[in-house]
Structure 1
Amino acid sequence: MAKPRKKAPEKTVQIYCAKCKTLLYKYKKGGKGALVKCFKERIVEDFTKEEGICPNCEQQFARDSLIRGTPSLKMIGGKVNMK
């Protein structure tokens, strides 16, 4: 499979915890679909202390994984919202 594009997308989205509404990431998202994964190289600002765990309510919202050979976070369904 092909790797993600080198050039980051224009659109920046903010990712929030669905439970406590804490800001988790600012992320360069490509496309207009649901947020399924976050490539680590596209995260602009990281507000978490521990990877994949909300700093406020300590709920796990993502798992560390390799997608197409690139380090990424696979989001758990219903645990995050984006604006």
Structure 2
Amino acid sequence: MAKPNAKGPVKTVQIFCLQCKAPLFKYRKGGKGALVKCFKERIVEDYTSIPCQCPGCGQEFARDTLIRGVPAYKMIGGKVHMK
């Protein structure tokens, strides 16, 4: 399978916890669809101390996985909000 675009998108989005509104990531997202996965190499700023766990309320918002052979976080539906 093809790897994600090496150059990567330029547009960045802020990702927040939906429950407590704590910031989680600043991420270079491509496209205009919903946030389903976050490739680790595209994360600009990471505000979490424990991977995949919200620093504010402690809930798990994603799962650590490999997508197309590249490390990524697979988002759990209804746990995160993007601006």
TM-score by length of 2: 0.99
Unpaired runs of 5+ residues, structure 1, are none
Match runs of 1:25-40 below 5 Å: 25-40=25-40
Question: In the alignment, residue 48 of structure 1 is paired with which amino acid?
Answer: T
**How much is the aligned-residue C-alpha RMSD, in angstroms?**
0.4
Unpaired runs of 5+ residues, structure 2, are none
1:17 matches 2:50: no
- In the TM superposition, what is the alpha-carbon distance from 1:50 to its structure 2 partner? 0.5
Partner deviation per Cα, 1:34-72 (whole Å, 9 max, x = no partner): 000000000000000010000110000000000000000
Q: Give the Cα–Cα distance (whole angstroms) in 2 for the partners of residues 74 and 68 of structure 1.
A: 12
* Count of aligned positions: 83
- In the TM superposition, what is the alpha-carbon distance from 1:2 to its structure 2 partner? 0.4
Match of residue 77 from structure 1? 77
TM-score by length of 1: 0.99
Any runs of at least 4 consecutive aligned residues in structure 1 with deviations exceeding 4 A, and if so which? none
Question: In the alignment, residue 67 of structure 2 is paired with which amino acid?
Answer: I
Q: Percent identity?
A: 70
Question: In the alignment, residue 5 of structure 1 is paired with which amino acid?
Answer: N
